[in-house]
Each structure stands twice: as structure tokens, then as C-alpha cells.
Amino acid sequence: EHPWLGINGVDITSEVAQLMDLSEPKGILVQQVVNDSPAQKAGILGGTVPTELPRQGTSILLGGDLIIQADDRTIRNLDDLLLHVEEKKKVGDTLQLTILRNGQIERVDVVIGQRAAPTIVTRG
């Protein structure tokens, strides 16, 4: 069993931090939330505003939740969150996320789900 939240996010770089008026580049900006995932059930919100990042040559979705802590541990990037979940949580555990939403700090409890096995497609 592998613990699963059901989000897709991007690290907060200095360019993204500047766009979001953040004092420092840390955290994960949620881009998408998987339908019927633990994150969706907990009310985590994905981005809605497509925004170009000229220095990085990519685009992201602004407006989603910014994850800044997991169980009172600072989350600097996606790797921090993934390692915390893999090492400290199992399916059915509760993960407390501290998020920034619309300029307000909120705490959201997410019950960890089980990542589904990948679907194997064969060519016949």
C-alpha cells in the first residue's frame, strides 16, 4: 500500500513567489486535484488562472491552495511533502496540512488514501 493525496502541484520558485506576493519561495502551489481523491474530499483547491512564467518558459495555474506545512513541518517543495507522506504516514492516517488560501492561513485534515496500481496497457 502506498499513501496517496491526489494532488498535482508545483514548487514555489522565486518567480512564482513574486507573482503571488510571497515573502519567500517555499511551499507547493496546488495545480490540480484528482477527482474523488483524499485531497478533494478534504476540500483542497487546485488552480484556475493560467499564468505564463517567462523566465521559466512554462505556464502554471494560479489561484490554488498553497501548502506550506504538513503536520507542523515546513514544506519547502514537493519532495518535502512526498517524503513526509511516504516516511511518516500510512493509508488511513490523517495528515494535517497548513495552507494559504485567499491570503488566509487554514488547516485542513486529509485522510490518506491508497494509490491505485497503475493500469497496464498491452498492445495486441
Give the model confidence (pLDDT) of 2-44 as tens digits.
899 999 999 999 999 999 999 999 999 999 999 999 999 999 9
Q: What pLDDT band is residue 109 in, cutting at 50, 70 and 90?
A: very high
pLDDT exceeding 70 applies to what percent of the chain? Answer: 94
Q: How far apart are CA 113 and CA 90, in angstroms?
A: 8
105 φ/ψ angles, rounded to the nearest 5 degrees: -85, 130
Element (H, E) at 108: strand 104-111
Q: How far apart are CA 19 and CA 78, in angstroms?
A: 19
First to last CA, the chain: 30
Question: What pLDDT is attached to residue 40?
Answer: 97
